[in-house]
Structure 1
């Protein structure tokens, strides 16, 4: 029995690159993408949007008044936002209670209609009368030209009639 070792893979987790060939790996290490990712800023302050590679610059930044003001400012904003949120919540609760009242009123009307319909159906069941409605429509269509030809054969042509009229001066 011969044992085969799985081929060695080279992985760059930062760039999401994987290969089995060493020369491809070495070429990847020289690429612009890999170098820029590796040289990216390691220390960053999200509150101030400050980025640096040097830890000393980062700790010095943390001691500045700019950083302290930026960190304290969101807490002031949060206090104002909380009072505004409480006001909005109160408004929403008032609107919700009004909507709930309308829904309850609609349900009551629906129940009343159901009761009315049940009484009508029970009354109809007691009457048991059969009503037959038969509607007969007869359309008498005739052609006007045929009528005129049959009944008014001797009639004067309309153009001749107009020519015989005397116009008053």
Structure 2
């Protein structure tokens, strides 16, 4: 009896089996069944794929991919930190003073201007009602995640995984204690609590850093998974699971993919921390 496990096909005749192996249906399906999810390796035999997944070449590729992606993320974070240190403090101060002066000039002339009133109301609300909110740094430092969170990311992907970790922790806090609020969901405009004050998060700088911080915590969970699954490198099922975890945790490889995914994360977060102007102004 000749069997094709991938197509669930059986025959007693070798000629029929050979004909099946050359059929378009089999070739199309075998590419899906016996294709390595990490590289372009494809085999007509399941045994060959198993051998490939255990090979030194594949394991080295897996290790290098994780190393490169981790370095890329670390380099980006380090670059952001360097840029912060190189910011001109005097220029920032001038910008703040100029903005305040412009607001003073506009208020008497635009008493009916909803946009200005809303902006002022948000600032007043945050600095009075939310003055004791946790800072974004303290919020990120106290985040605690488990392997259940890693499993959720594996099953649902990078965007849903990161969003879930953010949202569930924010929802555990009273709205006035949260370190992040969204004032405009359409434009993804956030306000973030720093150690000393509330700040408008121009260009989503703080939110993007926070997303990177949560991703790093997921990478740490990957190493915990490795410890709790000793010898996974020699187990076909665990190898495939580890690959899926890595793909979900690291997300898109290119900057374009990652920016798109991070924008989706911010949209999900904004829905949960949207400031209700009607409540603020009453």
Q: Could you tell me the TM-score, scaled by structure 2's length?
A: 0.24
Q: Which has the larger radius of gyration?
A: 1
Q: Which has the higher contact order (CA 8 A, sep 6+)?
A: 2
Alignment TM-score, normalising by the size of structure 1: 0.38
Higher helix residue share: 2
